[in-house]
Amino acid sequence: MRLAGLAVLTALAGLSLFLGVSDLRPADLLTDPEARDLLWISRLPRTMAAVLAGAALAVTGQIMQVLARNRFIEPMTAGAGSSAALGVLLTTLLAPAAAIWVKMAAASFAALLGSLGLMALIRRLPPTDPLLVPLVALVYGGVIGAIVTFAAYQTDLIQYLGTWLTGELSGVLRGRYELLWLAAAATVAAWAIADRLTLLSLGEDTARSLGLNVQLVTAAGVVAISVVTAMVVVTVGAIPFVGLVVPNLIARSTGDNLRRALPLTALTGAILVLGADIAGRAVIAPYEVPVATMVALAGAVTFLVLLNRGAGRA
Contact 87, 215 (CB under 8 A): no
Nearer to another protein, 24 or 186 (CB): 24
Interaction of residue 1 with another protein, rule CB under 8 A = no
Contact flag: residue 300 with another protein (CB under 8 A)? yes
Question: Does 175 help bind another protein (rule: CB under 8 A)?
Answer: yes
Give the 3-state secondary structure of residue 166: strand
One of 131, 192, 210, 216 touching another protein (CB under 8 A): 131
Amino acid identity of residue 116, one-letter, is L
Phi, psi of 238 (to 5 degrees): -80, 130
In angstroms, rounded to a whole number, what is the distance separating the alpha carbons of residues 115 and 299? Answer: 28
* Chosen residue from 44, 90, 147, 185 binding another protein by CB under 8 A: 147
Interface with another protein includes 286 (CB under 8 A)?
A: yes
Q: For the CB of residue 265, give the shortest distance to another protein in the complex, in Å.
A: 17
- Using rule CB under 8 A, residue 32 touches another protein: no
Q: Does 173 help bind another protein (rule: CB under 8 A)?
A: yes
* 283 belongs to the binding site for another protein (CB under 8 A): no
Residue 159 makes CB contacts below 8 A (sequence gap 6+) with: none
Query: Residue 60, exposed/middle/buried by CB under 10 A (0-12, 13-18, 19+)?
Result: buried
Q: Binding residue for another protein (CB under 8 A) from 11, 37, 213, 216?
A: 37
Calpha distance 137→75 (Å, rounded):
10
Q: Can residue 293 be called a binding residue for another protein (CB under 8 A)?
A: yes
Dihedral sign (CA 66, 70, 75, 80): negative
Binding flag, residue 44, another protein (CB under 8 A): no
| Distance (Å, whole) CA 261 – CA 253 | 9
Q: Which stretch binds another protein (CB under 8 A): 53-61, 161-169, 195-203, 265-273?
A: 161-169
| By the rule CB under 8 A, 231 interacts with another protein | no
- Residue 290, helix vs strand vs coil: coil
Give the closest residue to 56 by CA, choosing from 212, 208, 224.
224
- Contact between 288 and another protein by CB under 8 A: the answer reads yes
Which residues from 56-115 bind another protein, rule CB under 8 A? 70-73, 77, 88, 92-93, 96-100, 103-104
Among 7, 11, 139, 210, binds another protein (CB under 8 A): 139
